Amino acid sequence: MRRTLLPLLILLTLLALLPGGCTPASVSGDHFSLDTIISITLYDTQDAAILQQCWDRIDELEDTLSRTRVQSDIYRINHAQGKPVTVRPETAELLSTALEICKESQGALDITIGPVTELWNFKSSDPQLPDAGVLEEAVGRVGYDRVVLSGDTVTLPQGMALDLGAIAKGYIADELTTTLQQAGCKSALLNLGGNVLTLGEKPDHSPWVIGIRDPEGSASQSLLNLELIGSKAVVTSGIYERGFTLQGRRYHHLIDPDTGWPADNGLASVTIVAASSTLADGLSTACFVLGVDDGLSLLARYEDVEGLFIMQDGSCHTTDGFASLLQSPDPK
Residue 111 contact partner, candidates ligand ADP, Mg ion, none, CB within 5 to 8 A by sort of partner: ligand ADP
Query: Minimum Å distance from CB 263 to Mg ion?
Result: 12
Residue 289 contact partner, candidates Mg ion, ligand ADP, none, CB within 5 to 8 A by sort of partner: ligand ADP
Residue 306 contact partner, candidates Mg ion, ligand ADP, none, CB within 5 to 8 A by sort of partner: none
Element (H, E) at 58: helix 48-65
Element (H, E) at 154: strand 153-155
Phi, psi for residue 65 in degrees, rounded to 5: -110, -10
Query: Minimum Å distance from CB 105 to ligand ADP?
Result: 9
Query: Minimum Å distance from CB 169 to Mg ion?
Result: 7
Query: Minimum Å distance from CB 12 to Mg ion?
Result: 50
Q: Rounded distance, CA 242 to CA 133, Å?
A: 23
The residue among 298, 266, 265 whose CA lies nearest residue 279 is 298
Q: By CB under 5 A, name the binding residues for Mg ion.
A: 166, 237, 281, 284-285
Residue 117 contact partner, candidates Mg ion, ligand ADP, none, CB within 5 to 8 A by sort of partner: ligand ADP
Residue 27 contact partner, candidates ligand ADP, Mg ion, none, CB within 5 to 8 A by sort of partner: none
User: Of 175 and 281, which CB lies nearer to ligand ADP in the complex structure?
Assistant: 281
Q: Rounded distance, CA 191 to CA 124, Å?
A: 25
Query: Minimum Å distance from CB 149 to Mg ion?
Result: 20
Residue 78 contact partner, candidates Mg ion, ligand ADP, none, CB within 5 to 8 A by sort of partner: none
Q: Contact 187/203 with Cβ under 8 angstroms? A: yes
Phi, psi for residue 35 in degrees, rounded to 5: 65, 25
User: Of 111 and 273, which CB lies nearer to ligand ADP in the complex structure?
Assistant: 111
User: Of 168 and 185, which CB lies nearer to Mg ion in the complex structure?
Assistant: 168
The residue among 106, 150, 74 whose CA lies nearest residue 257 is 106
Q: Is residue 289 helix, strand or coil?
A: helix
Q: Rounded distance, CA 256 to CA 113, Å?
A: 9
Query: Minimum Å distance from CB 286 to ligand ADP?
Result: 7
User: Of 284 and 318, which CB lies nearer to ligand ADP in the complex structure?
Assistant: 284
User: Of 165 and 200, which CB lies nearer to ligand ADP in the complex structure?
Assistant: 165
Q: Rounded distance, CA 329 to CA 332, Å?
A: 9
Q: Contact 193/149 with Cβ under 8 angstroms? A: no
Name the pairing type of β-strands 153-155 and 188-192: unpaired
Query: Minimum Å distance from CB 288 to Mg ion?
Result: 8
Residue 113 contact partner, candidates ligand ADP, Mg ion, none, CB within 5 to 8 A by sort of partner: ligand ADP
User: Of 46 and 96, which CB lies nearer to ligand ADP in the complex structure?
Assistant: 96
Element (H, E) at 238: strand 232-238
User: Of 203 and 243, which CB lies nearer to ligand ADP in the complex structure?
Assistant: 243
Query: Minimum Å distance from CB 222 to Mg ion?
Result: 20
Q: Rounded distance, CA 100 to CA 109, Å?
A: 10
Q: Rounded distance, CA 227 to CA 209, Å?
A: 5
Nearest residue to Mg ion, by Cβ distance, number only: 285
Q: By CB under 6 A, name the binding residues for ligand ADP.
A: 109-111, 113, 117, 163, 165-166, 169, 194, 237, 241-242, 253-255, 257, 281, 284-285, 289
Element (H, E) at 176: helix 168-182
